Structure 1
């Protein structure tokens, strides 16, 4: 008898819940029209992605597969090179372009103004797009290096839009007297700079390099390198570039702190064409003097900037293949970069971001912010004035 009573109660309860649900489904949601023809477009307008949604491109920029879309035009392109089989320690930088783009999600064109730079690089008249990644071979390094060179050269030869508010510098140095776009490359390990320098040489001849890194990357070889291709690594590419005549003798390192075999490594480095600024120099010389030395070294030559994320201390940017303790802070690196505005930049890269070793995307976010700095650096004719303080009148901002 008790069982029948319980079953009746349960059946009645289920019927009641079903009726409530049915009535809820039939009733229109509050504030929404019952017109079934209503669309998102006529109610909410253009589909604008949130900072955390939408396709993954750098800072939500327009995305194009530029290598196959010959109609894609730009003044500045962001290009991924997901190559990491030239490393000597931890692999994983093939996922660097993805990590940097993911770290850039909170950045976008409409909120690109910074007090530090006093500008928004997306409002300077230059067309900036994300050209996707070079589909590099993960099996054949010789093939991958050639693919990266061909890809970079392909984009470097595209006509520019030419509506920038900042006068073009590339025409002045190009062998053909034409204006060429500038490319910010997302690595990938540091080996990618060799095919990039080969491509730049075809257009500009030898260039000066400003190299932010914990390591020299000018070694001639490593033990076991017995074939020609095995010489091409993320620690030897500058030596090979010097052999090929791709760089001037006016290049400079910044942030060096790696272990060396002996002072012979420094003598070799000087022969390759570099001056040295160590990580400790920021304490002994100060940021202003480091900026002065870099600017004096490269002078009025065409300049390529290459930034290995390991120039930043691994406590602040752990996601890298060859971490070295005692690096610069993210703020210090950003400050030095601001001091380089107005040099004759023909391109830049950020490399060695390996997100498998990251935590809470801190390295990817830092790298993305530095790319934003590169854009402002390209599009500024001189270093910005000192940042505004709280007491600065609003009309002076």
Structure 2
């Protein structure tokens, strides 16, 4: 039988590969050997394993009452308060999926100059709150009870001098912090109820394309039932009615269409100042940071980030997209400028993965959550960050 030159080359390459393989990793087909003996502990690849945020330990914290933590990542899959495109109930899944390449062993970032996972605090993924998709009144109560359950739990390790929750809480006790994965923005109303029980009125730093302070009867005329008042565009108005927020709150990234100046006047009455999306060009990032810091001062601060603050060209998977938003890089720089404020919690909301492309929105959202963790734990502005922030502080 004659073999062509190409056949000889294929045979030679196969023999070379087989020889190298056998030399490096013996097959040992005739010998019993366990996985651990040969390869060590079973670890996950970035694309494998159970789905938790950044491969953190995953615990159903609501039912495991003995579980303690300093920071919890908590999913709230709720989207029946939206006014346009639904789908944010799948947001917690998308954000966790977007975090797969992140993990405790490689959490260091040059922009922060540290890793949030090696700061001596316990960070857990506490799973999702089982929220009703059929009854919004029930859902709001479930969110409030779940958040309060975890907020009232004793911290695990404690953050030492870095922790401000003990100093500013009503009871003088150190409370854990919760990073919430939404879900539509309605979830913030019951969250603020929970936080108010511990800290009193809260100042909100609100990154969003929309005001979310609309008076229900004005914004949605004819829809005046108690339940119809609760939407992802009215929850701050409801929070103000209940005295949950201070008069030192601020929006950033606003660019939505309005009915007129009356919307701005109503927004001010709810307690907000605003920074528009265009201000990043006219004022610059350092001035935006200065205005946010000056507005909230040393009050208890809650950070709420609607993913639609980012331009839909970079984060398309959201319920109410608005052109002309900020870039992920711009917002990340602003977040680094907020180090040292009295943060008592944070969320990222309105990620609706059905509208995503190549998971880019989920990946961006997961990266912002990583920034939240660093923001909670940093004691001073990043030494390798933009010098304008360090001079400002």
- TM normalised by structure 2 equals 0.90
Matched, 1:48 2:46: no
Unmatched runs of 5 consecutive residues or more in structure 1: 1-27, 390-397
Secondary structure (helix, strand or coil) at the match of 2:187 reads helix
How far 1:159 sits from its partner (Å)?
0.7
| Correspondence for 1:101 | 96
Cα RMSD, aligned residues only: 1.5
Task: Say if 1:149 and 1:198, in contact at 8 Å, map to a contact too.
Answer: yes
| Correspondence for 2:61 | 66
**Matched ranges for 1:251-270 at <5 A:** 251-270=249-268
Matched, 1:138 2:133: yes
Number of residues paired by the alignment?
362
How far 1:296 sits from its partner (Å)?
0.3
How far 1:224 sits from its partner (Å)?
3.4
- For residues 269-302 of structure 1, give each alpha carbon's deviation from its aligned partner in whole angstroms, at most 9, with x where no partner exists: 0000000100000000000000000000000001
**Matched ranges for 1:160-309 at <5 A:** 160-164=155-159, 167-221=162-216, 222-309=220-307
Secondary structure (helix, strand or coil) at the match of 1:334 reads helix
From 330, 333, 343, give the equivalent of 2:331: 333
Task: Say if 1:157 and 1:180, in contact at 8 Å, map to a contact too.
Answer: yes
Secondary structure (helix, strand or coil) at the match of 1:276 reads strand
| Correspondence for 1:311 | 309
Cα distance in 2 for residues equivalent to 1:70 and 1:338: 34
| Correspondence for 1:14 | none
Secondary structure (helix, strand or coil) at the match of 2:162 reads coil
How far 1:36 sits from its partner (Å)?
5.0
Cα distance change, pair 33–163 in 1 and its aligned pair in 2 (3 A): farther
Cα distance in 2 for residues equivalent to 1:35 and 1:381: 57
How far 1:388 sits from its partner (Å)?
9.1
Task: Say if 1:249 and 1:272, in contact at 8 Å, map to a contact too.
Answer: yes
Secondary structure (helix, strand or coil) at the match of 2:212 reads coil
| Correspondence for 2:349 | 351
**Matched ranges for 1:6-45 at <5 A:** 31-34=26-29, 37-45=32-40
- For residues 215-271 of structure 1, give each alpha carbon's deviation from its aligned partner in whole angstroms, at most 9, with x where no partner exists: 000001123322111100000000000000000100000000000011000000000
Cα distance change, pair 272–388 in 1 and its aligned pair in 2 (3 A): closer
How far 1:33 sits from its partner (Å)?
2.3
| Correspondence for 1:91 | 86
Q: Which has the larger radius of gyration?
A: 1
Cα distance in 1 for residues equivalent to 2:94 and 2:180: 13
From 320, 341, 345, give the equivalent of 1:322: 320
How far 1:387 sits from its partner (Å)?
3.9
| Correspondence for 1:394 | none
Task: Say if 1:250 and 1:274, in contact at 8 Å, map to a contact too.
Answer: yes
Unmatched runs of 5 consecutive residues or more in structure 2: 1-21, 388-393
Cα distance in 1 for residues equivalent to 2:385 and 2:174: 32
Cα distance in 2 for residues equivalent to 1:387 and 1:337: 11
| Correspondence for 1:153 | 148
| Correspondence for 1:15 | none
Cα distance in 2 for residues equivalent to 1:298 and 1:172: 17
Q: 159-168 vs 265-274, which deviates more?
A: 159-168
Secondary structure (helix, strand or coil) at the match of 1:252 reads strand
How far 1:32 sits from its partner (Å)?
2.3
Task: Say if 2:196 and 2:244, in contact at 8 Å, map to a contact too.
Answer: yes
Task: Say if 1:166 and 1:380, in contact at 8 Å, map to a contact too.
Answer: no
